[in-house]
């Protein structure tokens, strides 16, 4: 799905846990997430810590969207 969004001209940041799958599938801007059941969170942390983690990941995604790339890249 990510490829189709990109094909339509919208840079797309893929936040996901299994980076190799994302690469194989062909996503161009990849941001590794925390874990499968909670990609943008961590129940082991406090609410504030979680928010901070989430924010950091989304900001990484924004940076990926702001970066010109020639081929697939993992932004971590």
33: left (phi over 0), alpha (psi -120 to 50) or beta: beta
Is the Cβ of residue 59 or residue 76 nearer to other proteins in the bound state? Answer: 59
Closest CA to 65 of 23, 15, 24, 21: 15
Whether 28 contacts 71, CB under 8 Å: yes
Q: Is 61 in the site for other proteins (CB under 8 A)?
A: yes
Q: Is 50 in the site for other proteins (CB under 8 A)?
A: yes
Is the Cβ of residue 65 or residue 74 nearer to other proteins in the bound state? Answer: 65
Q: Which residues bind other proteins (CB under 8 A)?
A: 1-18, 20-22, 24-29, 33, 35-41, 43, 50-51, 54-55, 57-59, 61-62, 65-72
């Amino acid at each position: 799905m990510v490829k189709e969004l990109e094909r339509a001209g919208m840079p797309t940041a893929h936040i996901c846990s299994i980076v190799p799958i994302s690469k194989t599938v062909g996503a161009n801007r990849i941001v590794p997430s925390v874990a499968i059941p909670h990609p943008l969170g961590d129940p082991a942390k406090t609410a504030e810590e979680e928010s901070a983690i989430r924010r950091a990941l989304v900001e990484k995604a924004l940076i990926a969207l702001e970066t010109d790339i020639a081929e697939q890249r993992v932004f971590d």
